[in-house]
Amino acid sequence: MEKFLSIPLEKQHGFVDAALVCFGTNGYKKTSISDIAAKAGISKAMVFHYFGTKKALYLYLINYCSDLVMNEIEAKFDRMVTDFFDRLKQATEIKVAVIEKHPAVLAFLMNVYFETNEEVRQDIASILAAGEEIRRKIAFTGVDESKFKDGIDMNLLLSMLTWMAEGSASQMSKNDKLDIRAIANDFSRCIDMLKSHFYKPEYLGSDGR
């Protein structure tokens, strides 16, 4: 890994993009080191020199994409916003901006989310669990819960939103041509619908949002 990180950033980014495309297109099992080497324009031996194994490369890419998103959230997320649903929209916008800047990330992460290969499944579960804890902190820390109607289970609401995201990801994984901005807009409309049902009337605008 250190050997890879010692090469110029431009070459690192080119290799990462090539590997993301390969894994995002074919999944973990069907992607070979030869495929990645050919896409990146380097030798197979160099890929092994950098990472040692296909699994090590795959897990590096998962953490790379996760860090890419979380670093942007850390830099741009306004934690002074106390409205739960506005926070969701803000986080979604940051993620969409990252994906628009790095298109190969979306297909790769969707493939990771639905990967079933036993060689990597447990590692994926551990990484996703760590990410879930971070998402919970973003969603709940400093949020004004007084806006919600009495009896609303915040944890169940967050689970509901997660299920919505999973369903959306499942649909996207079957579509070769994705408009991430249109998908984000639809998700925003869903958030507005939930807000109109779960917030007390005095915290809604004249249009019910």
Residue whose entry in the numeric block shows the structure tokens 């649903």? 85
**Pair of tokens at residue 55:** 């699994």
- How do residues 65-83 score in pLDDT, each as one tens digit? 999 988 998 899 898 999 9
State how many domains the chain has.
Answer: 1
What per-residue confidence (pLDDT) applies to 44? 95
Per-residue pLDDT at 185: 86
CATH number at residue 135: 1.10.357.10
Identify the bridge partners of residue 199 per DSSP, sorted by sequence position. 148
Quote the percentage of the chain above a pLDDT of 70: 93
CA–CA separation, 110 vs 178, rounded Å? 12
* pLDDT for 129: 84
pLDDT (0 to 100) of residue 171:
63
Predicted confidence (pLDDT) per residue in 93-147, tens digit: 998 899 888 889 988 988 898 899 999 999 999 988 887 777 788 888 899 999 9
Question: Can you give the pLDDT at residue 110?
Answer: 86
pLDDT at 1 over 80: no
Mean pLDDT (whole number) for 35-57:
95
Handedness of CA 35, 36, 41, 46 (dihedral sign): negative
Q: Is residue 99 part of a domain?
A: yes
Domain membership flag for residue 133: yes
Indicate whether 51 belongs to any domain. Answer: no
Q: State pLDDT tens for residues 162-187.
A: 887 777 666 665 555 667 788 888 88
Q: Is position 42 within any domain?
A: no
d(CA 87, CA 160): 16
The pTM (predicted TM-score) of the whole model is: 0.85
User: Both tokens of residue 70?
Assistant: 């979380």
Torsion of CA 106, 110, 73, 17, to 10 degrees: -40
The answer as to whether 10 is a domain residue is no
- Please report whether residue 25 resides in a domain: no
Q: Which two tokens stand for residue 188?
A: 């925003």
Is 24 a member of any domain? no
Burial (Cβ within 10 Å: 0-12, 13-18, ≥19) of residue 17: middle
What's the domain range around 135? 61-203
pLDDT value at 29 more than 80: yes
Q: Is residue 155 part of a domain?
A: yes
